[in-house]
Amino acid sequence: MERTRYFCLRGFMKSGTNWLGGLLNSHPQISCLGEFHWEEIMRPAYARIKNQTLYGDESFKRVTLRELERAIRRVLRRAAPREATIIGERTPTTLAPIILREAPHVTLVRDGRDVLVSRAFHLYNNPQVTRMFARHETMRRHLVAFQDNPWYFREHPQRLLDNEELVRISARWWKQHLVRDRRTMATNPQLRVMVVRYEELHRDCAGLLRSVLQFVGADPELAPPPIGDLQPGFAEERPNHFFRKGSVGDWQTYFTEQTRAWFNREAGDELVEQAYASSMTW
């Protein structure tokens, strides 16, 4: 009987999955791997198994899903160090489609306004991942200035989020992600899910990490203290680094009244739902 245990680490992009994954990976029992994006395989598989009569009755469908999950576990086991006894699959995505139904799931939630700021810097550092620079001349000008001077947006904070498409799409996707996860947890009560707030992990890293380790079945006494980039926040901002700042409330530096209005139209109600704002007039 296989002794290895598995868990899944989830969350919206730029919500701290790399950070928490690194903290977990530093534990001697754990190998936290990513990003496999198994959802790209399992989403169509779930749809086909559900709707295709070829798969027969419900018992045969359950067997098929179980075999797919066993294949995923075998790949993860093969990719992880031999000494790891707990293997995590880290992908910044929604809880569903569920790739390992019996495994505990940890999902990160972060203030969507801080997510937006982090995503904006990510795009300016990796312009090849989006077509927005091709569509918007102002963003192209900002990009040239940022590449010439990494502190461009600190000197001109109102320019980071001055594009409506960037703000509204990011806010919309953030809300959709959280709504889908609530639906998944409601319709799958047997799924073991621990919701971790980025802000709480920042405030009490050691205490919350201890709870996460216990949840996935690891011994918290074996966890080393976080060092380097695994510590909450950084002594100095690094605007062109993947781990740029790691702060809470950074959105207040970059939001204008126009940014606020755009974000509110898409996800202001979700800020209230998540208790990041007390009303739509934040």
Q: What is the CATH number of the domain that holds 193?
A: 3.40.50.300
Q: pTM, whole model, 2 decimals?
A: 0.92
Helix H, strand E, coil C: the string for 139-177 is: HHHHHHHHHHCCCHHHHCHHHCCCCHHHHHHHHHHHHHH
The answer on pLDDT for 191 being more than 70 is yes
pLDDT value at position 59? 74
Q: Do residues 148 and 103 share a domain? A: no
Q: Do residues 82 and 209 share a domain? A: yes
pLDDT value at position 55? 53
Q: Do residues 103 and 117 share a domain? A: no
pLDDT value at position 48? 78
Q: Do residues 48 and 85 share a domain? A: yes
The answer on pLDDT for 198 being more than 80 is yes
Q: Which residues of 150-171 are buried (b: 16+ CB within 10 A; e: fewer)?
A: eebbeeeeebbbbbeebbbbbb
Q: Do residues 117 and 107 share a domain? A: no
pLDDT tens, 126-179?
999 999 999 999 999 999 999 999 999 999 999 999 999 999 999 999 999 999
Q: Do residues 134 and 214 share a domain? A: no
pLDDT tens, 179-189?
999 999 999 99
Q: Do residues 225 and 249 share a domain? A: no
Q: Do residues 123 and 202 share a domain? A: no
Q: Do residues 256 and 161 share a domain? A: yes
Q: Do residues 107 and 49 share a domain? A: yes
Domain count, the chain: 2
Q: Which residues span the domain enclosing 128?
A: 113-170+235-273
Whose tokens are 């098929």? That residue is: 64
Q: Do residues 131 and 197 share a domain? A: no
pLDDT tens, 95-118?
999 999 999 999 999 999 999 999
pLDDT value at position 29? 97
Burial of 36 (0-12, 13-18, 19+ CB in 10 A): middle
Q: Do residues 32 and 162 share a domain? A: no
